[in-house]
Chains A and B, each alone.
Chain A
């Protein structure tokens, strides 16, 4: 079973305590944006076979949203971090780069 540590309450939460919330760090585009940007924001998703950044909610726990970095090919969890950020923290990226040399995700490399 997938296990993620909630960065707020510190609980090692099992999958049944969590709710998946889709791709992390989406940049939102509104009515004034171009069709391409708006389509991208609404529909296009990273769908990597490998490192992925996601939103999760500790729904049967503290109830808070947070972020997780996970490998979709092995289900390895690299770490979790606060929801109050627009990009993954540097130390987590270093950890992932060490484990998955050459990984890319959107414009992160």
Chain B
């Protein structure tokens, strides 16, 4: 792999940009691998990357039915934060956030991590108390967050209307080290690094069956033939239920549509991320100038990657109250992704009833922020059978009543 550097840019400028190579090799499946990861989104690629980097396991294939990073990795609103309430969540999300800080250097690929700060507005008395509690919890967990006053909110984000008609801003939970990153670049950077370690990233290769032998995974059947493996990692977000059925077990997961939209690009007006969970809306401004807007998920099972119009309408209506200046903006693009929701709104990183088969799913509406931490823990789980980062996120926590309840803690948006 040729390293990207200022020198490389200058060199290619002199020779008419003819020396760049593909970021990752086009690969065809071999007969067998040590580990097969299903799903070449951020989580799957990060899992493969840390398998190679931390454990030296490089005989790995990452299978993708569509194109790399074309699922939720390319559909989210790119927010990175770690201000969760429960200890296991704070640990894995903070691990991810801290890895994001140096990921560009680590991958030699600019993921455009922008620690611009994330504020979660408190717009009811209950939220004020809830976020003060979260700030205290975060301080104990070693996650730096503070509860800030309305005047501080206004100073950090001047376009906010503090005295909205329904929900005045009473304060906010502020994490100054949180922010955004370029979502596609995260997938591309991991893919390039995986390919460089000799891993095969195979796109347009859909898994149609999981082959089993004596209660153990043997391999998968794909649209490009049968591939054997010692260990199998299912990292497919919205389609986790479909893959679990192929592998012969059930999941406490339902797949629903989550939508996002961007406005036409405007001049820079907002250099923080603002989330308003009471009214179901969050917004930031992309480097291109578009206002990136997300809201709540739809309430019914759906695999179409399209959501209901009225949900997007509710999100925008809510945000217009808090940000009156966006009321005249035109919408540029609007899309949906299929998210895998668990009952406690926490992910599942776990062994499964099928030996040798591991699953990483249930990130629901907030997986992007967790990609490096999720890959780090999942790789350890696959390589060693145990990871302190993922230990609390096992499938058996539902049966045993050990929920990691972020549905109450985090309100709605993740």
Contact = CB atoms under 8 A, between A and B. Distances in A.
A19 B310 CA distance: 13
- Among A39, A52, A72, max chain B CB count under 10 A is at A72
Interface in A50-102: 52, 54, 72-75
B170 interface: no
B343 interface: yes
Interface in B288-310: 299-304, 308-310
Interface of A: 1-2, 15-16, 19-20, 22-23, 35, 39-40, 42-45, 47-49, 52, 54, 72-75
B200 interface: no
A52 B241 CA distance: 13
A35 B310 contact: no
A52 B301 contact: yes
30 contacts: A1-B309, A2-B300, A2-B308, A15-B310, A20-B300, A23-B254, A35-B399, A39-B399, A40-B250, A42-B343, A42-B398, A43-B398, A44-B250, A44-B251, A45-B253, A47-B242, A47-B253, A47-B301, A49-B242, A49-B255, A52-B301, A54-B300, A54-B301, A72-B301, A72-B303, A72-B304, A73-B304, A74-B304, A75-B302, A75-B304
B53 to A, nearest CB: 33
Contacts of B253: 45, 47
B303 A49 contact: yes
Nearest to A54: B300
B211 to A, nearest CB: 20
Q: How large is the interface on B (under 10, 10 to 19, 20 to 34, 35 or more residues)?
A: 20 to 34
Nearest to B255: A47
A23 B299 CA distance: 11
Which of A15, A20, A43, A54 gathers the greatest number of chain B CB atoms within 10 Å? Answer: A43
Contacts of A73: 303-304
Nearest to B240: A47
Interface in B226-273: 239, 241-242, 250-255
A23 B250 CA distance: 15
A19 B251 CA distance: 24
Contacts of A49: 239, 241-242, 255, 303
Interface in B327-365: 343
Nearest to B343: A43
B310 to A, nearest CB: 5
Given A47-B254, A49-B303, A39 B239 contact: no
Residue from A20, A23, A48, A49 having most chain B Cβ neighbours under 10 A = A49
